[in-house]
Structure 1
Amino acid sequence: MAKRVQLLVGTNKGIFIYSSTVERKSWSLQGPFLPGWEAYSVLGATRFGTKLYAGTSHAAYGATIRVSSNGGETWEQITDSPSYKEESGFSLNRIWQLVQGPASEPETLFAGVEEAGLFVSRDSGQTWKELDGLTKHPSRPEWFPGAGGMCLHTIIMDPGNSKRMWVGISAVGVFRTLDGGLSWKPCNNGLNRIPTGQPDESVGYCVHKMVLDPENADVLYMQEHSGVFKSIDGGDSWLPIEEGLTLREGDMPFGFPIAISQTGDLFLIPLESSELRSMRDGKLLVYRMARGEHSWKPIGDVLPEEERHVSVLRDAMTVDALEPYGLYFGTTSGEVFCSLDRGENWEQLPGQLSRILTVKTMIMED
């Protein structure tokens, strides 16, 4: 049975889908689907039939989850989408992340939202329940938003332990559960706290994105507001891994996305600074730390003949599960790029989209 690769691209004006064979030499583009809607999260789920899920939001109509069973041609709005009870005092502004649950629970999905909270569905996304052990955490009164809002943007499952998972919240920090979401522990030791003015030092950390090592579920990597970090104890402590990222005086290891391949290669796209949030000197430059190495190297000048004063957002960089793997990212100016040689060389995919918020991959079988 032939396989096909799809890139699911969420923008602030709908969803676009790129398709290719496993050789990934030529790409077709479809969309926009759900035009006019922000799509901060897109998920291609294949465990219970091929379905596409999207976390959409609109200034006039609010946030909701939509699902398509026919490749995006038509979408159903989930009536019982994640929502807070009125007495909670929280508003649900966006759905930042959608992920599948453990392999042993094929119909389970999780949704991370803004204002920060975590919801679970046990019936393929038709109904949702708040995991209020997180929103009722004792530190909750001191949670503080980042520039993009107080969003739960990262959800990581331990593939070997269905009860253990991590979430990343801006600008609050990392939380870990060992009991499937009933209780949560802040895991921010070693990170650089931002000046929120709140006294609880267990929170107040601006996590931008976090990934799990594919070979060791105690090892996590993070792009944080003030640097790049690694944990080797499941998040109990963090150490900086920034060698090679500050190449000029005054440069900071600031950026949003971090991605990891199935072989353990890490990728970053550093920006000028927290204030400017644009490419250093206009160079669209990708950095890699290969498995077994201890420093970052600039390995892919994506458009060496052109300047690109753009950004790449936290969820707009990803890696597929093929061999050799494909590495992809989308920019705030709507360009999508692909590398098939570990970030050394890049191809720009067809089309100029709107502001890209998320990029995900899905492997299809025809």
Structure 2
Amino acid sequence: MMQTLLVASRKGLFVVRGQGTQWAVVAHHFAGDPVTQVLADPRDGHWYAALRMGHFGVKLRKSTDQGATWADITAPAFPPKPKEGPLATDPTPWNVDLVWALTPGSATQPGTLWAGCMPAGLFKSEDGGHSWALNTALWEHPLRPGWFGGGNDYPGMHSVLVDPRNAQHISVAISCGGVWQTHDGGDHWALTAAGMTADYLPADSAEDQNTQDPHRMVQCTAQPDVLWVQHHCGIYRSTDGGQHWARIAAPAPSEFGFAVACDPHDPQRAWFVPAKADTHRYAVDGKMVVNRTDDGGKTFKTFGAGLPQSHAYHLVYRHSLELAPDRNTLAMSSTTGGLWVSADAGEHWHGVSQDLPPIAALGWVA
């Protein structure tokens, strides 16, 4: 069955279609413009693309006809910084530099979208992205000043998860600001990174929940209490809705990485892409592999068939490992323009292209 993949890159949005080992780029939108995030909303089929246009600001574009036409819509934006009060001296700029996450709301909330940004603000739209409101409860939380940037100047929110059982339950992950959850639609928030350890901090503050660096967080749709995190310092899994996290003994060749994908129906299965830490940030020994667990992290299998196995200096970013709706097809991309697809749950890979621009995010069309 033909499948469609959206590829957000530094030089535009590519549409890739195919099946098995037959894939091709069929369209190129916003040529030359940096696209940081993409969403194909499974509820109504609408496509969204977030662009990072430098001094022109962040732009958001929407297509209701699968890319045949695009319309500019309002992008998330902070309100003016207060001139008085405790926030007047906030060192974080109140300007959206990057839309890092685009997440559809619950199936019971048509038109609701969530956007995680850098700096780490959370925005909500209730009209299909035509207007946005900052979640002030999290932005004004007294612990926010303790957040800091990982590889960036400022903290960023890259993972936003909506509990399929309860549209009011939202979980977010921040680099570096830990994991936060709300059970009332965003009015109140709790820090829930217990069990995570930041090896990059002094020993007496390594377990501070507010300064953890989860690189990516995903959730099992069928059993939403099961969440996975690829952390700066290892792999974590929670089976109680993120209240507590257990560190998993990571497989060779490295516990460092950015990407994680999980099976929406099997809480035991997840995929990770290891990389060489910390300043290197490319495949360990120049050899690309993907690790999969089928038993909740107790054991892993390592796959490299079809992937470059020598002098491969690819890095797979947070949103560059995505499982298709069929639960067997995986797509993976890199910061050096590589794009691969696996039709058998990651065991064998087919190279679609080595020549695309640096890729920031992937999104399957349902």
SS in structure 1 of the partner of residue 111 of structure 2 = coil
How many residues are aligned here? Answer: 351
Tell me what 2:341 maps to: 338
Note if contact 1:284-1:307 (Cα within 8 Å) is conserved in structure 2: no
Tell me what 2:365 maps to: 362
Within 1, Cα distance between the matches of 2:78 and 2:205?
A: 25
Displacement of 1:343 after TM fit?
Answer: 1.1
Displacement of 1:134 after TM fit?
Answer: 1.0
Note if contact 2:114-2:124 (Cα within 8 Å) is conserved in structure 1: yes
Tell me what 1:42 maps to: 38
Tell me what 1:222 maps to: 229
Tell me what 2:15 maps to: 17
Which amino acid letter does the alignment assign opposite residue 301 of structure 2? K
Instruction: Say whether residues 1:26 and 2:22 are aligned partners.
Output: yes
Q: How does 1:217-366 map to 2 (within 5 A)?
A: 217-245=224-252, 247=253, 252-264=254-266, 265-291=269-295, 294-303=298-307, 306-322=310-326, 325-350=328-353, 352-363=355-366
Instruction: Say whether residues 1:77 and 2:84 are aligned partners.
Output: no
Tell me what 2:55 maps to: 60
SS in structure 1 of the partner of residue 17 of structure 2 = strand
Note if contact 1:39-1:357 (Cα within 8 Å) is conserved in structure 2: yes
The change in CA–CA distance for 1:14 and 1:243 in structure 2 (over 3 A counts) is closer
Within 2, Cα distance between the matches of 1:305 and 1:208?
A: 25
Within 2, Cα distance between the matches of 1:180 and 1:274?
A: 36
Which amino acid letter does the alignment assign opposite residue 13 of structure 2? I
Q: Deviations for 1:112-133, whole angstroms, at most 9, x for unmatched residues?
A: 1111011111111111111111
Q: Deviations for 1:308-334, whole angstroms, at most 9, x for unmatched residues?
A: 1111111111001115x2011001111
Within 2, Cα distance between the matches of 1:256 and 1:350?
A: 21
Displacement of 1:154 after TM fit?
Answer: 0.4
Q: 1:181 aligns with which of 162, 183, 186?
A: 186
CA RMSD of superposed structures (Å): 2.2
SS in structure 2 of the partner of residue 203 of structure 1 = helix
Displacement of 1:201 after TM fit?
Answer: 3.1
Displacement of 1:238 after TM fit?
Answer: 1.0
Note if contact 2:104-2:112 (Cα within 8 Å) is conserved in structure 1: yes
Percent of aligned pairs with the same amino acid: 30
Within 2, Cα distance between the matches of 1:281 and 1:306?
A: 7
Displacement of 1:46 after TM fit?
Answer: 4.0
Note if contact 2:101-2:157 (Cα within 8 Å) is conserved in structure 1: yes
TM score, norm. by length of structure 1: 0.90
Within 2, Cα distance between the matches of 1:199 and 1:342?
A: 35
Within 1, Cα distance between the matches of 2:167 and 2:309?
A: 47
Within 1, Cα distance between the matches of 2:188 and 2:270?
A: 30
Note if contact 1:101-1:110 (Cα within 8 Å) is conserved in structure 2: yes
Q: Deviations for 1:234-272, whole angstroms, at most 9, x for unmatched residues?
A: 111111112433x5xxxx410000001234321111011
Tell me what 2:111 maps to: 107
Note if contact 1:29-1:350 (Cα within 8 Å) is conserved in structure 2: no
Within 2, Cα distance between the matches of 1:46 and 1:237?
A: 30
Which amino acid letter does the alignment assign opposite residue 312 of structure 1? V
Displacement of 1:31 after TM fit?
Answer: 3.5
Q: Structure 2: any 5+ residue segments left out of the alignment?
A: 83-92
Displacement of 1:300 after TM fit?
Answer: 2.9
The change in CA–CA distance for 1:91 and 1:304 in structure 2 (over 3 A counts) is closer
Instruction: Say whether residues 1:169 and 2:174 are aligned partners.
Output: yes
Note if contact 1:168-1:174 (Cα within 8 Å) is conserved in structure 2: yes
Displacement of 1:161 after TM fit?
Answer: 1.3
Within 2, Cα distance between the matches of 1:235 and 1:137?
A: 20
TM score, norm. by length of structure 2: 0.90
SS in structure 1 of the partner of residue 81 of structure 2 = helix
SS in structure 1 of the partner of residue 25 of structure 2 = strand
Q: Structure 1: any 5+ residue segments left out of the alignment?
A: none
Within 1, Cα distance between the matches of 2:216 and 2:355?
A: 25
Displacement of 1:202 after TM fit?
Answer: 3.5
Displacement of 1:350 after TM fit?
Answer: 4.3
Instruction: Say whether residues 1:129 and 2:127 are aligned partners.
Output: no
Q: 2:208 aligns with which of 196, 201, 207?
A: 201
Displacement of 1:28 after TM fit?
Answer: 2.8
Within 2, Cα distance between the matches of 1:87 and 1:305?
A: 50
The change in CA–CA distance for 1:37 and 1:198 in structure 2 (over 3 A counts) is farther
Tell me what 2:88 maps to: none
Displacement of 1:290 after TM fit?
Answer: 1.1
Note if contact 2:16-2:24 (Cα within 8 Å) is conserved in structure 1: yes
Which amino acid letter does the alignment assign opposite residue 64 of structure 2? S
Within 1, Cα distance between the matches of 2:238 and 2:166?
A: 18
SS in structure 1 of the partner of residue 258 of structure 2 = coil
Q: Deviations for 1:67-99, whole angstroms, at most 9, x for unmatched residues?
A: 122332432111x32100112552210101111
Q: Deviations for 1:269-291, whole angstroms, at most 9, x for unmatched residues?
A: 10111121110111111111014
Within 2, Cα distance between the matches of 1:183 and 1:7?
A: 36
Note if contact 2:235-2:250 (Cα within 8 Å) is conserved in structure 1: no
